[in-house]
Amino acid sequence: MEKIIVRGGKRLFGTVKVEGAKNAVLPVIAASMLANKGTSKIYNVPALADVYTINNVLRYLNADVNYENNIITVKAVKELLTEAPFEYVRKMRASFLVMGPLLARVGMARIPLPGGCAIGSRPIDQHLKGFEAMGAKINIGNGFIEASVNGKLQGANIYLDMPSVGATENIMMAAVLAEGTTILENCAREPEIVDLADFLNAMGAKVKGAGTGTLTIQGVKELKAAHHRIVPDRIEAGTYMVAAAITGGNVLVEDARAEHLRPLISKMEEMGVRITQEFNGLRVKGPDILKPVDVKTMPHPGFPTDLQAQMMALLLKAHGTSVITETVFENRFMHVEEFRRMNADIKIEGRSAIINGPCHLQGAEVSATDLRAGAALVIAGLISQGVTRVSELKHIDRGYVDLAGKLRALGANVERVTVEEGAIEQEVSMPKLNMKPKFA
Ligand SMILES: CC(=O)N[C@H]1[C@@H](OP(=O)(O)OP(=O)(O)OC[C@H]2O[C@@H](n3ccc(=O)[nH]c3=O)[C@H](O)[C@@H]2O)O[C@H](CO)[C@@H](O)[C@@H]1O
Ligand SMILES: C=C(OP(=O)(O)O)C(=O)O
């Protein structure tokens, strides 16, 4: 088993470079299957577990995928299979994003139900509502969703119940090869949606309105392979911005884009963090004393749920009471229990977490309950007294390239180690409490 070991107390200094966005590259790779001619080339691809998973899904579906030096090539000219295996969908819900492209290209798809995960139940009804509106028949049984269409998908007017990122992407990928025009209202506006639309348009699609609440997609007969560079990862950037601020450090987050990070920048500035735009990124300088703020997660351009746990770590250091309200996922406070192990004073009331800072954090044995929770625990470890050991790194590896190494390069005392299952680790992070056995 591997763990990240953090010894707190170091300020971060230097430059950290942001990778391509996980949440942009996954739909872009899925979309590359829409071209029945040529080879697509995708640049700035992060070496993440999720990227390996989606590559394997495409290979399974009979596409040729090659991944080297942060560049992926996809050639999907052979006849595609239509069933994705449970093994991949179980590992990564975003595997469900192949349904739209398969329906558009082959007219059918059979994908295991993605199911819930640590952050909530995460239904896919909005994806299915979109496919049905375009003429697909949906059957659910034996843990699978089957979708098929007679002939071609038809353009339709679709209004989403909520601006779901995945549903917007899946429906957009289905609509690009449909007959006629699709108007998708109340759709997601995340930068990753814009990145996908840019790639589709480079392939010859006619998508307008990406980044607004309404997408207009005029179906075309055929798409060709294209070249595309993935947008920088705003969530990874935000994670390092928080790490710099919490340690009172001074870090340039290279390739961080201010226009994608407005909600985080605004809250961090309210807390007293200085953030300045430089020609190649954002410089973050953390003050000694942070002010408390209230934060509510919302779909873009609101505060991203994917930065909620990291923001909570920062608020543990603020002088006063802060409230975080999570409105996107119903169960995204699993990290609270882990923070409590580190001596955090947090109360949960419904969908809100009330944080009474400053908390004198102590290193502890903690577990990454999801990928952002994992990053947040490492960040909290940076200012904790003693040693923090974070386990369940498989979650962190889904979304961060070498988190420990990048923090270490900024001066943090962080290492990734392999420990034997069940081994008792010798080093103690704090003096043991002086307890006597009760009945001695
Ligand atoms: C790979 C990827 O890009 N993942 C991101 C994507 O996930 P994902 O695309 O799964 O998130 P959605 O935007 O779809 O989900 C937002 C909310 O809508 C609900 N919902 C969604 C679809 C649906 O058919 N029915 C329904 O009820 C979900 O349960 C959730 O409460 O956006 C989330 C919200 O910004 C991020 O946290 C994830 O990092
Ligand atoms: C929740 C996330 O990803 P996914 O939707 O892939 O689970 C995330 O990136 O924080």
Asked if residue 36 and residue 14 are part of one domain, the reply reads no
The CATH number of whichever domain residue 6 belongs to comes to 3.65.10.10
Q: What is the pTM of this model?
A: 0.96
Residue 66 lies in a domain: yes
Residues in the chain: 440
Could you tell me which residues come within 8 angstroms of residue 346 by beta carbon, excluding any fewer than 6 positions away?
Answer: 312, 316, 336, 339, 340, 353, 354, 355, 356
Strand partners, 13: 250
Query: For residue 311, what are the domain limits?
Result: 2-18+232-418
CA distance 226 to 228: 7
Nearest-CA residue for ligand 1 atom 27 is: 123
What 3 state SS string does 217-242 have?
EECCCCCECCEEECCECHHHHHHHHH
Ligand 2 mean position to 117 CA, how many Å?
10
Q: Residue 421: what pLDDT?
A: 76
* Cβ of residue 324 lying under 6 Å from some atom of ligand 2: no
Q: Residue 244: what pLDDT?
A: 98
**Nearest-atom index, ligand 2, CA of 23:** 9
Active site residue 117: yes
* Cβ of residue 372 lying under 6 Å from some atom of ligand 2: yes
pLDDT tens series, the chain, 440 aa: 999 999 999 999 999 999 999 999 999 999 999 999 999 999 999 999 999 999 999 999 999 999 999 999 999 999 999 999 999 998 899 999 999 999 999 999 999 988 667 888 889 999 999 999 999 999 999 999 999 999 999 999 999 999 999 999 999 999 999 999 999 999 999 999 999 999 999 999 999 999 999 999 999 999 999 999 999 999 999 999 999 999 999 999 999 999 999 999 999 999 999 999 999 999 999 999 999 999 999 999 999 999 999 999 999 999 999 999 999 999 899 999 999 999 999 999 999 999 999 999 999 999 999 999 999 999 999 999 999 999 999 999 999 999 999 999 999 999 999 998 776 665 544 556 555 555 43
Q: Which of 48, 235, 372 to mutate to test the pocket of ligand 2 (most atoms within 8 A of CB)?
A: 372
Asked if residue 353 and residue 299 are part of one domain, the reply reads yes
Instruction: Point out the domain boundary residue: 204, 229, 254.
Output: 229
Ligand 2 mean position to 323 CA, how many Å?
23
Asked if residue 246 and residue 134 are part of one domain, the reply reads no
Asked if residue 378 and residue 270 are part of one domain, the reply reads yes
Could you tell me which residues come within 8 angstroms of residue 272 by beta carbon, excluding any fewer than 6 positions away?
Answer: 287, 289, 290, 291
Residue 436 lies in a domain: no
Asked if residue 271 and residue 246 are part of one domain, the reply reads yes
Ligand 1 mean position to 387 CA, how many Å?
34
Instruction: Point out the domain boundary residue: 198, 229, 260.
Output: 229
Ligand 2 mean position to 49 CA, how many Å?
12
Asked if residue 117 and residue 50 are part of one domain, the reply reads yes
Q: Is the ipTM of this complex over 0.90?
A: yes
Asked if residue 254 and residue 142 are part of one domain, the reply reads no
Is cis: bond before 85, omega within 30 of 0?
no
Asked if residue 211 and residue 225 are part of one domain, the reply reads yes
* Element at 324 (helix H, strand E): strand 320-325
Residue 397 lies in a domain: yes
Asked if residue 199 and residue 56 are part of one domain, the reply reads yes
Judge whether 306 is annotated as a binding position: yes
Q: Residue 420: what pLDDT?
A: 82
* Cβ of residue 166 lying under 6 Å from some atom of ligand 1: yes
The CA-to-CA distance between both ends of the chain, in Å, stands at 37
Q: Which of 122, 131, 297 to mutate to test the pocket of ligand 1 (most atoms within 8 A of CB)?
A: 122
Q: Residue 201: what pLDDT?
A: 98
Asked if residue 274 and residue 207 are part of one domain, the reply reads no
Residue 247 lies in a domain: yes
Q: Residue 115: what pLDDT?
A: 66
Instruction: Point out the domain boundary residue: 194, 213, 229.
Output: 229
Q: Which of 19, 22, 23 to mutate to test the pocket of ligand 2 (most atoms within 8 A of CB)?
A: 23
Q: Residue 424: what pLDDT?
A: 61
Asked if residue 339 and residue 266 are part of one domain, the reply reads yes
Number of domains present in the structure of the chain = 2
Residue 265 lies in a domain: yes
Residue 431 lies in a domain: no
Residue 439 lies in a domain: no
Asked if residue 245 and residue 216 are part of one domain, the reply reads no
Residue 78 lies in a domain: yes
* Cβ of residue 125 lying under 6 Å from some atom of ligand 1: yes
